Every structure is written in structure tokens, then in C-alpha cells.
Amino acid sequence: MNKIIPAALAVVAIAGGAYYFTRPDAPEPSAPPAKGEPLVSITVPETLSADAIMGQRAFDATCAACHGTNATGKQGFGPPLVHKIYEPNHHADMAFLMAVQNGVRSHHWTFGDMPAQSGLTKADVGNIVAYVRELQRANGIE
């Protein structure tokens, strides 16, 4: 009797899964983005603060190669920063400065470790953070 219940549950699970994936209105599986493509779609604010404009310039020069245009991530290179993982309550502004200065061991994503970045001052990183935070707020991440 004890073997019948797990077997029955397995049959129900398999049948349910088969129905879910073969029903006429089943969503088509989406292919992952091609290498170099953005990982998320975002809304870019029409206007940015002066600090965020300077941050965008620094981001484009230093960060976009891995984190993508407008911090949307880049398949095969780096994660999106306009993502709930990087909301201020989880990654404070200081976390960005520490990542730039010291690098970061991979812990949320499978892109590998982020190396320390040279050539950016604390003010540069502060402006980059202002830019990322404004992008995040425009996309409901606060």
C-alpha cells in the first residue's frame, strides 16, 4: 500500500507536466539571448541628473563592455545592474565602490569573477552609482 501512493503521485505529476507543455496555449520556450545581447529590457529615463549624466559617461567607458548598454547586462560577459539583485537594500552604494576597488567573487551569477577596475576615482564610482540607481528607479527597483 505504501508503494502505491508515491507511484500514483508520480503518474499524476508526469501527466500534469505532459499536459502543461503540450496544451494548445502553451508558451513557446524562449531561446537565451545571443552572446553579447542584453539580458534585460528596461525603460531609460528621459532625463538624468547631472551626476547620473557623468556616471553614464564613466559607465559607458568602463563598465558597459561587460554590463551592457544602460546596465542591461551582456550575455556571455556580465550581469545586468538594473535587476532586483542590485536593489539598494541588497547591494548598498558602497558595494559598488568595493567591487570596483577590490573585484568581486562570483556569487549571484555564472559570469565569473569581476576583476578590480583601475582608472576610476571614488567620485567616478559615485556618479556611476547615481546613474545605475536612476535607471533602477525608472524600472521600479528601489
How much is the CA Rg of the chain, to the nearest whole Å?
21
Q: Judge: domain 50-138, CATH 1.10.760.10.
A: yes
pLDDT of residue 1: 54
pTM given for the model? 0.78
Q: How far apart are CA 111 and CA 65, in angstroms?
A: 13
Q: Which residues of the chain have pLDDT under 70?
A: 1-29
Domain range list for the chain: 50-138
Q: How far apart are CA 58 and CA 69, in angstroms?
A: 12
pLDDT of residue 31: 78
Q: What share of the chain is helix, strand, coil (3-state, %, to 5)?
A: 50, 5, 50
Q: Which residues are paired to 104 by β-bridges?
A: 114
pLDDT of residue 133: 98
Q: Write the single-letter amino acid at 107.
A: H
